[in-house]
Chain A
Amino acid sequence: MAPAIPTDRDLRLDLFRGLALWLIYLDHIPSNIVAWVTIRNYGFSDATEIFIFISGFTAAFVYGRAMRDYGFVVSSARILKRAWQIYVAHIFLFVIYMGQIAYVARGFQNPLYAEEMNILEFLQQPDITLVQALLLKFKPVNMDVLPLYIVLMGLFPPVLWLLLRNGTLALALSALLYALTWEFGWNLPAYPGGGWFFNPLAWQLLFVFGAWCALGGADRLRWLLRSRVTLTIAAAYLVLAFFITLTWHIPGLAPLVPKWLAEHIYPIDKTNLDVLRFAHFLALATLTVYFIPRDWPPLRSAWLRPAILCGQHSLEIFCLGVFLAFAAHFAKVEVSPGIPMQVAVSILGIAVMIAVAWLLTWYKGATTRKAAMGAG
C-alpha cells in the first residue's frame, strides 16, 4: 500500500530551511564574528545537515505526488529538470567566483604569501579548470553544497520510485550504502586531487532519510518522537555535544575530554557525515519537532515570515548567499576587516536575502494571478 502524502505545506520546513540558509551565509564569510551565533559552534552538526534533510523531505513531498499522479517518466523528467537548474546555478556561481579570483590575482602581491598565491595557477590553464568545473570535479571553497545537491537530485528518480513502493527497503539500502562507503572509503574523485568535500555516497543517507520521513516515515516515528526516553536521550546528547564543542573554543577545557573519548570521537568527519553529526542532527530534530508543533501559531506571524520566505525559495537564496559571502569577504578585504564591518555585512547580507525572497514571492504571486485572470 502506498503511503499517504500530506497535501498542505509544513511551514516548519520552510522556516528551518530559511534559517539554515542564513546560517550557511554567516559561516561562509571568513573570520566573521557574527558566525558565533551559528549552531556549528554549539554542537557537532551544522546548517548543512538541516539543509540537506529538508531538501530531501521537500523533494519527496513535491515529486512524490507528481510520481503518483503522472507516473515515473514525467516526474523523473521534472526531477532531472530541477537537477539541471541547480547545475546551471552552480556554474553561474563558479563564473562569479573566477571573476573574483582573477581580480585578486591582478591586485594583490605580498612576498609573505608567495606560496598561497600559487593557488592562482589554475587561471593560467582555463582549458583544464573549466572542464573540471563542468564535470563538478573542481569545486572552489564554499561551493561544495550545490554539487552534492545536484548528484542527490540526479539520482533521485529511482530512489523515489522505491521509496513509494517499499520505504523501509529504500532506507535500508541507503544505510547500507552509507556503511559500505565508510567501510571501503568510497568517494567521488575531485580535482586537483582527493575526493568531494561532501561525499554524496555518505550524505545521501540524510537526503533519503528526509524523503522517507516525508512519505510517511515521520508518522511511523511519531510514538518514538513522543516518548520521554527518546527526548531525554536527545537532550542529554545535545548537552554532551555542547560541552565537547565548548572545549574546542576554550583551550583550557580541552584536557577535560578524557583521552579515550577523544581517541574515539576525533576527528569528527564532515566529509563522510560522521555518525556523531548525524546523531546530533537527529537529536536536534527530535527536540524541535517536540517543541514546535506543525500548527505552532508564530509560524503565521510576521516575525518568522522573512525566514519562511527565504526557505520557500531555497535554491535562489542559497546561490545568492554564496555570492553575498564572496561580496562580504571582498568588502572586508578591500574596505575594513574590523568587527563593525563584519556585523554590517552579516546583517546587510541577510536583509538582501530577505528582500530578494520577498521579491520572488511577489513575482510568483503576480504572475499566477495574471494567469488566473487571463484564464477567467
Chain B
Amino acid sequence: MRDVAGMRRMRAGIFGLVAGIVLAAAAHAQVPDAAVPLPESDPCDVPGYLLFGEGTLDRIAKSIKEHKRLNILVVGSGSSVLPGPEGVARSYPGRLEDRLRQRFPQVAVKVGAVAKSRLTAGDMVESLERVLLEHKPDLVIWQTGTVDAMRGIDPESFRVALDEGVDLIEDSGADVILMNMQYSPRTETMISLGQYADIMRVVARDRGVPLFDRREIMRHWNDNGNFDLNLGTRDLAVAFKVHECLGRALASLIIEAAHLDEFKRGATQ
C-alpha cells in the first residue's frame, strides 16, 4: 500500500530519535554539570535587565536628604517572612535593612514588615489605610500575587485591587515597589502564576512604579545553578541565603530607582 514505505521511514525516524536522545543523555551524564557557578562568582548576582526597569521612586530621596530617615514597610503574604527564631532578621526585609544601613550609615534606615499568610491583594488593600497611618512609611514594598493565583481570584479584581493599593500608598505620600511571586519549580504545574505576574507587570508599567520581578530573578538563580530551588529540605539554610540575596537585590533596585548613588557620593565626600 501507499503508506507502507512512509510508515517504515517514520518508524526508522522514531527509533533514530530515541537512540539519539539516549546517546545525548549518556554523553551529558559524563560531562560535569556546566551550571555550577565558579567559586568566586557571587550567588546573589542578578543581571541588570532583570532588576532595573522604567519605574522610578521619586519621593524617598527627599526624605533621606532632608530628614536623614528612610522608613520602609514591606506589606506582603507568607513568602515575606521565614519561620524560626532568626526568621525575622534573616528574611529579606531584615536583610534589606542591614544592607541599606551599611550603605547609608548616616541615615536612620528602618524596614518593617506587615506580612501574613493567605492574604490576597484585595485583603491587603482592606487594611492598607490603617497600616499606612500606623507606620507612616516613605516606601512600601508590596509583595503579592501568590495567594491570588492559588485561589484563582478573578484577574480583573486582582488588577483593580493593585490599582487601589497603589493609589492609597501614593496618596499617603509614600513611594511604592511591587514585588511578584517566588519562583517555585516544584509547584509550577500546580499554581498558574503567569497571568497574575503579567497583570502586575502591566500595573507597574501603567503607574510608572518599579516592579521587583522576584519570580524571574529566582528563576535565573535556579537555572544558572546559584541555588537549587528544587531541593526538598526542612533546613532553613537555603531559604536564608535566598532571602539574603533578595534583600541585596532589593537594595540595589531602591538605590537605582531613587537615584541614590549620587547621594552617597555627595555624603561621603
Q: What residues of chain A have their CB less than 8 Å away from a CB belonging to chain B? A: 30-31, 100-101, 104, 107-120, 140-142, 185, 190-195, 197, 251-252, 254-255, 262-263, 266-267, 270-271, 301-302, 305-306, 325-326, 329, 332-333, 337-338, 340, 343-344, 347-348, 351, 354-355, 358
Contact = CB atoms under 8 A, between A and B. Distances in A.
A192 B17 contact: no
B78 A194 contact: no
A119 B191 contact: yes
A108 B186 contact: yes
B134 interface: no
B229 interface: yes
B18 interface: yes
The 8 closest A-B pairs by CB, nearest first: A115-B78, A302-B6, A30-B188, A112-B239, A194-B154, A194-B152, A340-B28, A141-B192
Given A118-B117, A337-B230, A338-B33, 10 more contacts: A112-B238, A112-B242, A113-B186, A115-B77, A141-B190, A190-B152, A193-B151, A193-B152, A263-B206, A354-B10
B152 A302 contact: no
Contacts of B108: none
A266 B202 contact: yes
A116 B202 contact: no
B236 to A, nearest CB: 5
B182 A111 contact: no
For A110, A252, A266, A338, the residue with the greatest tally of chain B CB atoms inside 10 Å of its CB is A110
B267 interface: no
B185 interface: yes
A108 B198 CA distance: 28
Given A340-B25, A344-B25, A109 B233 contact: yes
Nearest to B183: A31
Given A30-B185, A190-B152, A337-B222, A351 B18 contact: yes
Given A115-B78, A255-B54, A31 B191 contact: no
A110 B233 contact: yes
23 contacts: A104-B190, A109-B234, A111-B234, A112-B239, A113-B187, A118-B117, A119-B187, A120-B190, A141-B191, A193-B153, A194-B153, A194-B154, A195-B154, A197-B192, A305-B6, A305-B10, A329-B188, A333-B230, A344-B24, A347-B20, A351-B14, A351-B18, A358-B11
A193 B154 contact: yes
A303 to B, nearest CB: 9
B185 A333 contact: yes
Given A193-B153, A302-B6, A347-B17, A108 B232 contact: yes
A302 B10 contact: yes
A325 B77 CA distance: 30
A30 B189 contact: yes
A267 B198 contact: yes
Given A333-B230, A340-B28, A115 B186 contact: no
Contacts of A348: 17-18, 21
B82 A111 contact: yes
Contacts of A347: 17, 20-21
A318 B151 CA distance: 26
B252 interface: no
Contacts of B182: 112-113, 115-116
Nearest to B52: A251
Nearest to B78: A115
A351 B21 CA distance: 11
Contact of B195 (A251, A270, A325, A355): A270
Given A112-B229, A354-B10, A118 B154 contact: no
Nearest to A325: B189
A256 to B, nearest CB: 12
A255 B152 CA distance: 31
Contact of A252 (B49, B205, B238): B49
Nearest to B208: A259
Contacts of A195: 154
Contacts of B37: none
Nearest to A97: B189
B152 A192 contact: yes
A107 B152 contact: no
A267 B199 contact: yes
Contacts of A116: 79, 146, 150, 182, 184, 186-187, 191
A344 B21 contact: yes
A250 to B, nearest CB: 9
For B78, B153, B186, the residue with the greatest tally of chain A CB atoms inside 10 Å of its CB is B186
Contacts of A351: 14, 17-18
A338 to B, nearest CB: 6
B59 interface: no
B155 A194 contact: yes
Contacts of A355: 14
Contacts of A337: 185, 222-223, 230
A23 B236 CA distance: 39
Interface string B80-91: 001110000000
B151 A306 contact: no
Contact of A333 (B20, B21, B186): B186
B133 interface: no
